[in-house]
Amino acid sequence: MENKLENLKIASISKRAIAMMIDEFLISFLIFFAFFDAFKNAKTMQEYMIITDKIFIYIFIAYTIYHYIFIALYGKTIGKMIVKIKCVDMETLQTPNHLRSFIRSIFRNFDEMFLYAGMMIALFDKYNRALHDIVGRCVVVEDN
């Protein structure tokens, strides 16, 4: 496996972080827009939190679908497209198949719920892989 990866440039943690922020903004905007009627009357942070708790399952599903579809079809989300990185299968170096993309997406979302603890693994991994990359058997590389 390591021989296959020698010819690829592993994406930097900073590029991955920028891509993640772009994706977070896009999905958050879509969720806010979709539930605008609920949010428009909120006046305090507590009211926003209550609304967010009520629609949590929709948020989780939106994030899962977004990451699953983009990784399975293109190997990259919109954020990754902008910073020119992509996710590839560790064995084939191709776009991850649907199962691996789905597993990666689910683990990514659970990781997000636990304050991105699994993403901290990337700081110590040889290939800058977060927990969801390791479980999904993927690596994020530069997209030329």
Across residues 61-74, what is the average pLDDT? 97
To the nearest 10°, report the CA torsion of 103, 107, 108, 114: 170
Predicted confidence (pLDDT) per residue in 26-42, tens digit: 999 999 999 999 999 99
Angle at 60 between CA 56 and CA 84, to 5 degrees: 140
Across residues 122-133, what is the average pLDDT? 95
pTM: 0.91
Is a pLDDT exceeding 70 seen at residue 1? no
Q: Return the structure tokens found at 54.
A: 């009520």
